[in-house]
Amino acid sequence: MDKVLVYGASGHGKVIVDILEQSQSYSVISYVDDNEKITGTDYFGYPVILGRDNLLSGKNNCRNIIVAIGDNHIRMELSNWLLGHNYGLVNAIHPSTCLARDVDIGVGNAIMAGAVVNSSTSIGSHVIINTNASIDHDCSIGSGVHIAPGATLCGGVVIGESTLIGAGATLIPGIKVGRNCIIGAGSTVIESVPDNAKVYGNPAR
């Protein structure tokens, strides 16, 4: 079984480790974190080593990694830095995920327990599809997106890079949401949303 590092000793990091353990796809060897106060400690049963400088040293002897950071922009920046330094970003997909056989998926993604991703959907890289999220057929999800727990994307929805779809939000078929948007929790989106917009409510405005 290949070894893997998890970047981010946090609540989200614990979820990622649990997915990797349950899927038995990789053997976790340690967390990596930029917080010097917690390096050298154990977190969720694994040691925490200091961040980027340690990785550049190559002492860990592991080139597989996943970034377990919830903030879309930080996750994207760090993931691209790692790719630029020849680290291989892995996907963490919970074994209870329902993933259609023709889903196109990038690297560095986390797909949580109970998520459903239906046929002919494409998922970029560094994406979080959180617990019990539902993504129907022919959707397109850009890199760096976070689909929060219980959110529903109906068929043919397009989500731009680094957008957050809040918990329990619903997007009707064919909606297009731009880059760097925030869709409020529980919102119902019935019209397309331009780049950099924040919308919420039922219907979302």
Q: Which two tokens stand for residue 166?
A: 């809040």
Q: Which two tokens stand for residue 185?
A: 């929790």
Instruction: Report residue 46: phi and psi, to 5°.
Output: -130, 145
Cβ atoms of residues 127 and 67 within 8 Å: no
d(CA 41, CA 202): 45
- Residue boundaries of the structural domains of the chain: 3-90, 91-196
- What is the per-residue pLDDT across 42-89, written as a single tens digit (0 to 9) for each? 999 999 999 888 888 877 789 999 999 999 999 999 999 999 999 999
Exposure of 195 in the CB half-sphere (CA atoms within 13 A): 3
Q: In what order do the strands lie in the sheet with 134-135?
A: 98-99, 116-117, 134-135, 152-153, 170-171, 188-189
Architecture of domain 3-90 in this structure: 3-Layer(aba) Sandwich (3.40)
Please tell me if the domain spanning 3-90 has the same topology as the one spanning 91-196: no
The mean per-residue pLDDT over the stretch 165-181 comes to 98
| pLDDT given for residue 10 in this prediction | 94
| pLDDT given for residue 191 in this prediction | 98
- What is the per-residue pLDDT across 119-136, written as a single tens digit (0 to 9) for each? 999 999 999 999 999 999
Mean pLDDT of the chain: 96
- What is the per-residue pLDDT across 26-41, written as a single tens digit (0 to 9) for each? 999 999 999 999 999 9
| pLDDT given for residue 60 in this prediction | 73
| pLDDT given for residue 103 in this prediction | 98
Residues 6+ apart with CB under 8 A from 66: 4, 5, 6, 7, 16, 20, 89, 90, 91, 92, 108, 110
pLDDT at 145 over 90: yes
| pLDDT given for residue 14 in this prediction | 98
- What is the per-residue pLDDT across 106-116, written as a single tens digit (0 to 9) for each? 999 999 999 99
Q: How far is CA 45 from the centre of its chain?
A: 22
**Is domain 91-196 annotated with CATH 1.10.760.10?**
no
| pLDDT given for residue 197 in this prediction | 98
The torsion region of residue 150 among left (phi > 0), alpha (psi -120 to 50) and beta comes to left
Looking at the DSSP assignment, which residues form a beta bridge with residue 49?
32
Catalytic positions are 137
